[in-house]
Amino acid sequence: MNLAWILLFLPLVVAAVNQLVLRKNPLVPWVSTGSALATLVISFLLLGKEGTTGFNWATIGDFSLQIGITLDSLSTGMMIVVTGIGTLVHVFSLGYMADDEAKSRYFTGLSLFMFSMTGIVLSSNFAMTFIFWELVGVSSYLLIGHWYQKDSAADAAKKAFITNRIGDFGFMVGILLVWSITGTLAFGEMAIPETVSQGMITAAILCIFCGAVGKSAQVPLHVWLPDAMEGPTPVSALIHAATMVAAGVYMLFRVQVSLGADVFDGTAGNVIAWIGGITSLMAALMATQQDDIKRVLAYSTLSQLGYMVMAVGLGGGEAGMFHLFTHAWFKALLFLGSGAVIHACHHEQDIWKMGGLLRKMPITGFTFLIGTAALIAVPFVTSGFYSKEEILAAAFGKNKFLFGIAVFVAFLTTFYMTRAFVVAFLGKPRDHGSEHAHEVGPLMFVPLVILAAMAIGSAWLTGPLSAMRPVHEHGHAEGHAIILGASIASLVLGLLAGFALYKGKDKNPVSIPLFRNRFYIDAIYDNYLVRYFQNVLAAIVHFFDELFINGLMVGGLSRAAATTGNLFRRVQSGSLQGYAFAFGLGVVLVIYFTVFH
Amino acid sequence: MLAILVLLPILAFVAILLGAPARLAALGASVANLALGLAAAFSWKQSCWSLSLPVLEKPALHLAFGFFSDGMNVIMVLLTVIVTVAAVLTGKAPEGREKLWYSSSLLISAGALGAFAATDLFFFYAFHELALIPTFLMIGILGRGERRVIAWKITIYLGLGSIVLLAGLVWLANLAGTFDIPTMVAAAKDGSLTIDAGTQKSIAALLIVGFGTLVSLFPFHSWAAPAYASAPAPVAMLHAGVLKKFGLYGLLRLAMPLVPAGMQAWLTPLLVLLLGNILWVGYVTVSQKRLDGMLGNSSVMHMGYIFLAIAALAAFPENDLAKPAAILLIFAHGVSIALLFGLSDRIERATGTLDLDELGGLAKSAPKLAFLFGIAAMASIGLPGLANFAGEVLVFLSAFRGFDGMSSLGPVQIACILSIWGVVISAVYMLRAYRNVFQGPAVKSTESAADIPFADRIPAALLTIALFAVGLYPNLLLQFLK
């Protein structure tokens, strides 16, 4: 258990030492990277351990909020993802951010993030989850806004934070409701009394779910994630693909484990599943029309998160967690790969200005191909295939309509990834950036190779980590053949469509403004919700505040007094004591006479 | 010992009048007070920190200071001594005005300490009044903008509020037949002092309006933002951070134990008004165009959360979470708003403006200032690890204390849910301000702005450490509350 505390607090100590002691010392990146590696080692040592411990953080009489650690197969498995990908991203960043003048701030931010994320994973209770939930939010804010002098980065950071806050509004209410209903915040002690109405339970679960909608960027709060790509690319890989955005799914699964899967029966589960399904579909459609390589991946992440959320809503939290596990590796691989490409092409992110990169950057290109294969779920050889099968099976058993959506999304996924790969990596270079691209150095390609191995192999891990994979006691789930067939068909069709449309093209042959412009959702939010609703509301409130409460009631009175009285012109500092004395004496006399005479 | 705390600033004030160097005297007294305050707080149980001097024989009026057994005023005293040191170290007195500048801070501090430490109703009230005078004067003489109008506005507002409050307090003292607050509270507890429901309701109304005006309870709030925008930085820090909290402290100290039925009777109006603070003033804050106006309004808004804890206590008297939550948030807000006002003064001196449209990219030329302001802003919007979060979360929990999920939501729970929307509003205005001031490309006013100098980092660091200490481990303060 002591090890677990070190696992939690080491990155915080490192962040503090970096910020306060080392400052701009060139050691900072290495200290942060070393601590990430140390946490990975500790995570391996903790595999298979179980137990709960904690201390009182805020105590009032019998009541206390706790900082506590729960070790079980879920948390220790998830820690491997966080620290494993965390370490690789740190190493990759050593190369990627080598020339950044603020790399100390960057690595300090990464360490802060590692601390925050570890807190969510190890948390033994809802209060602590919420604490670290907010902390990952601020780490994400800092890292998205790393290049804060760019307006777009500063705006994206702000948007991410505020959008998450909207989700957290519901999350907080949900935590309060769950606390009221179960009388505890500890995950291990929760039970729903039978006398509580179904409506109250549904409300509580849906409010909790709001937190996941924000953090895991589900519709309608998905808008922050694509913008978050303004941050450095390794951050996108770690935070906005593999770990933090998956925290919503992880948290929902914790709730499922604590309260039982039956809380997702009925309305609450249906709403969750549908939100997930709709997110996966809309995001996949948007991904088909993006030209920025990072945005393609960002929408793809949204779409895959939608899959996971859908699985949780359908009561298949295990399938969701399994997909979270495999997705973390191959999506981190894809993001870091795109980072290597962007780095090599002198910060060019438009796929239509790339091309032929497989030949120029064979290691990056080939690992990217493996990541793509895992994402589009090439049967039997990639980890993504197995986890996607679990999700499709969860949907098939519960809701055929969502199953249909999921299969269609699988087709779209293959299609947009084929498009991105064909355009960026095959054909001829279209721009001098891609013309002169070189393979990246070992600090960057070694993490890619390791991640590629995990993209293939993470489904076969044995030992304690196999707990991340659902077990089916009765062999294959029902409808296995249909699921497999649908999956393979969507893959083949997607590949064909992608190649047919984009092979050898130098310009975008299809333009679908609706998808390209993200269903106009961002524009609607910016123009109507923010500009017209919020700002106009604020202005109106301000106006009435000035007019009635300030202007008419007391403003006029004080204005009159100020113009006629001229008291302050005469009150100089010299007569201050006299004035004070007179005032004090007056008060004494007033009280004395009113009370006693 | 507590008497020394109150007396030291007054002695320093006298010394300044007699010609002692103003800054040195103020600094000496406030630093000594910080040390004494910390020593007193962390050893208050070992000894009886009280003193009582008879002032009048009949009726018995004692100049009495002491820590109450519930520990509430230990925290108020701590808040005062911490913010005082920071205020004395912040800002720059105009040439030739050092006497006025520093003696005002000293008197506000002495008044606040006296009010929080007094166990006698008369001095509780009188010390607060004492502290208001230098506040008015500083705004009227050294304020910015329409300082005279604003000084009159705050004088009229707070004067009227004080008179309403006075009526309530006098009524209470008459019924209780004593000025001694512990005696009054004990009498109410053991039943020897019973106030009928109708009278309770009237007194509670006077106290809510009276204390409420002093804490800028909606709709008596419109003095606050202009006053803080106009006031010199130390005064804004001391008033918004410390003195204003007198009203909240008074409600918890007097209204809750003495007229609980009266407070309960006004529950619904109180909930509506505090939502006015959080939602109405919250949106007023969003529409602010200047940093000082935004900070002033944000401080009004955040009072709503503390009123929420008070309402939770009024609705459910056995609520064990409400009072500690309120006090913790009072402390946290006091420190964070003082830090924000202190830093915004620094921003203005570095760039010459607080207009949000004229600022931008300041983090490049002033990274340390940006870092400190970022912490203060994050504290203010309730980031865990900083004190305000612990206070806010406990307030929300206290509003759900006693609710078991079997019935439908009560008025306090509904108000709490609506209040939580405030955390979104706070993020909107605070991050927007941070974005406009510190991020984006540098503009004319910020290109060559100087970073915060070492001398100004000391008070900021003091307040920042306080925010982190309590935020990382709230039990540090909660241990005093029993």
Does the beta carbon of A132 lie under 8 angstroms from any beta carbon of chain B? yes
Q: Which of B153, B320, B406 sits opposite A195 (nearest CB)?
A: B406
Measured in Å, how far apart are chain B's first and last C-alpha atoms? 22
Q: Which of A154, A176, A576 sits opposite B440 (nearest CB)?
A: A154
Quote the mean pLDDT of chain B.
91
Contact A351, A287 (CB under 8 A): no
Does the beta carbon of A57 lie under 8 angstroms from any beta carbon of chain B? yes
Q: Which of A148, A177, A545 sits opposite B439 (nearest CB)?
A: A148
Rounded Cα gap, residues A340 and A331, in angstroms = 14
Q: What is the pLDDT of residue A582?
A: 57
Does the beta carbon of A579 lie under 8 angstroms from any beta carbon of chain B? yes
Q: Is the pTM of this model over 0.90?
A: yes
Contact A584 B130 (CB under 8 A): yes
pLDDT in tens, B420-438: 999 999 999 999 999 999 9
Does the beta carbon of B403 lie under 8 angstroms from any beta carbon of chain A? yes
Classify residue B421: in a domain, yes or no.
Answer: yes
Q: What is the pLDDT of residue B68?
A: 83
Q: In this predicted model, which residue has the larger pLDDT, B62 or B325? A: B325
Contact B361 A149 (CB under 8 A): yes
Tokens of B74: 């230990």
Contact B170 A596 (CB under 8 A): no
Question: Tens of pLDDT along chain A (597 residues)?
Answer: 789 999 999 999 999 999 999 888 899 999 999 999 999 999 999 998 899 999 999 999 889 999 999 999 899 999 999 999 999 999 999 999 999 989 999 999 999 999 999 999 999 999 999 999 999 999 999 999 999 999 999 999 999 999 999 999 999 999 999 999 999 999 989 888 888 888 999 999 999 999 999 999 998 999 999 999 999 999 999 999 999 999 999 999 999 889 888 888 889 999 999 999 999 999 999 999 999 999 999 999 999 999 999 999 998 888 999 999 999 999 999 999 999 999 998 888 999 989 889 988 999 999 999 999 999 999 989 999 999 999 999 899 888 999 999 999 999 999 999 999 999 999 888 888 888 888 989 999 999 999 999 999 888 876 667 667 777 655 566 678 889 999 999 999 999 999 999 888 887 888 888 888 888 888 888 877 777 778 888 888 888 877 766 665 555 555 555 554 454 444 444 444 455 555 556 666 665 555 554
Contact B280 A541 (CB under 8 A): yes
Does the beta carbon of B46 lie under 8 angstroms from any beta carbon of chain A? no
Classify residue B440: in a domain, yes or no.
Answer: yes
Residue A263, classed as helix, strand or coil, is helix
Residue tagged 């503390």 (tokens): B306
Contact B280 A545 (CB under 8 A): yes
Does the beta carbon of B24 lie under 8 angstroms from any beta carbon of chain A? no
**Minimum CA–CA partner of A546 in chain B:** B222
Contacts of A61 in chain B (CB under 8 A): 320
Contact B404 A562 (CB under 8 A): no
Classify residue B202: in a domain, yes or no.
Answer: no
Rounded Cα gap, residues B239 and B223, in angstroms = 12
Does the beta carbon of A565 lie under 8 angstroms from any beta carbon of chain B? yes
Contacts of B473 in chain A (CB under 8 A): 57
Q: What is the pLDDT of residue A551?
A: 61
Classify residue B325: in a domain, yes or no.
Answer: yes
Does the beta carbon of A154 lie under 8 angstroms from any beta carbon of chain B? yes
Q: What is the pLDDT of residue A229?
A: 94
Rounded Cα gap, residues B344 and B357, in angstroms = 15
Q: Which of B219, B393, B427 sits opposite A162 (nearest CB)?
A: B427
For residue A229, which amino acid is it? M
Rounded Cα gap, residues A70 and A212, in angstroms = 20
Contacts of A591 in chain B (CB under 8 A): 122, 125-126, 166, 170
State the DSSP string of A196-257. Answer: S-HHHHHHHHHHHHHHHHHHTT-TTSTTHHHHGGGS-HHHHHIIIIISGGGHHHHHHHHHHH
Q: Per the structure, how many domains does chain B have?
A: 1
Q: What is the DSSP letter of A461?
A: -
Q: What is the pLDDT of residue B475?
A: 94
Rounded Cα gap, residues B312 and B400, in angstroms = 8
- Cα distance from B280 to chain A (closest Cα, Å)? 7
Q: What is the pLDDT of residue A385?
A: 93
Q: SS in 3 state form for chain B?
A: CHHHHHHHHHHHHHHHHCCCCHHHHHHHHHHHHHHHHHHHHHCCCCCCCEEEEEEECCCCEEEEEECCCCCHHHHHHHHHHHHHHHHHHCCCCCCCCHHHHHHHHHHHHHHHHHHHHECEHHHHHHHHHHHHHHHHHHHHHHCCCCHHHHHHHHHHHHHHHHHHHHHHHHHHHHHHCCCEHHHHHHHHHHCCCCCCHHHHHHHHHHHHHHHHHHCCCCCCCCCHHHHHHHCCHHHHHHHHHHHCHHHHHHHHHHHHHHCHHHHHHCHHHHHHHHHHHHHHHHHHHHCCCEHHHHHHHHHHHHHHHHHHHHHHHHHCCCCCCHHHHHHHHHHHHHHHHHHHHHHHHHHHHHHCCCEHHHCCCHHHHCHHHHHHHHHHHHHHCCCCCCHHHHHHHHHHHHHHCCCCCCCCCCHHHHHHHHHHHHHHHHHHHHHHHHHHHHCCCCCCCCCCCCCCCHHHHHHHHHHHHHHHHHHHCCHHHHCCCC
Rounded Cα gap, residues B312 and A185, in angstroms = 20
Contact A353, A434 (CB under 8 A): yes
Classify residue B75: in a domain, yes or no.
Answer: no
Contacts of A537 in chain B (CB under 8 A): 283
Classify residue B265: in a domain, yes or no.
Answer: no
- Cα distance from B139 to chain A (closest Cα, Å)? 10
Contacts of B400 in chain A (CB under 8 A): 176-177, 179-180
Residue tagged 């993490």 (tokens): A447
Contacts of A63 in chain B (CB under 8 A): 320-321, 397
Instruction: Select the residue from A165, A181, A540 to test the B interface by mutation, using most B Cβ atoms within 10 A.
Output: A165
**Minimum CA–CA partner of B152 in chain A:** A558
Rounded Cα gap, residues B412 and B397, in angstroms = 11
Rounded Cα gap, residues A378 and A88, in angstroms = 25
State phi, psi for A197 to the nearest 5 degrees: -70, 155
Rounded Cα gap, residues A256 and A234, in angstroms = 31
Contact B77, B66 (CB under 8 A): no
Does the beta carbon of B141 lie under 8 angstroms from any beta carbon of chain A? yes
Q: Which of B139, B104, B110 is nearest to B127 (CA)?
A: B110
Contacts of A62 in chain B (CB under 8 A): 320
Q: What is the pLDDT of residue A296?
A: 95
Contacts of A136 in chain B (CB under 8 A): none
Does the beta carbon of B438 lie under 8 angstroms from any beta carbon of chain A? yes
Contacts of B389 in chain A (CB under 8 A): 131, 134
Contact A134 B383 (CB under 8 A): yes
Q: Which of A173, A176, A559 sits opposite B149 (nearest CB)?
A: A559
- Cα distance from A421 to chain B (closest Cα, Å)? 34
Contact B129 A59 (CB under 8 A): no
Angle at A540 between CA A535 and CA A545, to 5 degrees: 125
Classify residue B327: in a domain, yes or no.
Answer: yes
- Cα distance from B368 to chain A (closest Cα, Å)? 11
**Minimum CA–CA partner of A177 in chain B:** B405
pLDDT in tens, B18-35: 988 999 999 999 999 999
* Burial of A59: CB neighbours in 10 Å, binned 0-12, 13-18, 19+: middle
Q: Which domain holds residue B394?
A: 276-482
Classify residue B448: in a domain, yes or no.
Answer: yes
Q: What is the pLDDT of residue A543?
A: 82
Tokens of A432: 């001098």
Contact A148 B363 (CB under 8 A): yes
Rounded Cα gap, residues B460 and B336, in angstroms = 10
For residue A140, which amino acid is it? S
Cβ–Cβ contacts within 10 Å for residue A308, how many? 32
Q: Which of B103, B321, B440 sits opposite A149 (nearest CB)?
A: B440
Angle at A539 between CA A534 and CA A542, to 5 degrees: 125
Contact A169 B284 (CB under 8 A): no
Does the beta carbon of A151 lie under 8 angstroms from any beta carbon of chain B? yes
Q: Which of B133, B397, B435 sits opposite A158 (nearest CB)?
A: B435
Q: What is the mean pLDDT of residues B75-82?
A: 96
| A/B interface, count of CB pairs below 8 Å | 216
Q: What is the pLDDT of residue A433?
A: 80
Tokens of A232: 């450095």
Does the beta carbon of B103 lie under 8 angstroms from any beta carbon of chain A? yes
Q: What is the pLDDT of residue A571?
A: 46
Does the beta carbon of A554 lie under 8 angstroms from any beta carbon of chain B? yes
Q: How confident is the model at residue B55 (pLDDT cuts 50, 70, 90)?
A: confident
Does the beta carbon of B307 lie under 8 angstroms from any beta carbon of chain A? no
Instruction: Select the residue from B318, B428, B446, B482 to test the A interface by mutation, using most A Cβ atoms within 10 A.
Output: B428
Q: What is the DSSP letter of A533?
A: I
Tokens of B329: 């948030």
Asked whether the predicted pLDDT for residue B396 surpasses 60, the reply is: yes
Does the beta carbon of B234 lie under 8 angstroms from any beta carbon of chain A? no
Contact A579 B420 (CB under 8 A): no
pLDDT in tens, B247-264: 999 999 999 999 999 999
Q: Determine which of B40-54, B249-263, B339-353 has the lowest per-residue pLDDT on average.
A: B40-54
Does the beta carbon of B468 lie under 8 angstroms from any beta carbon of chain A? no
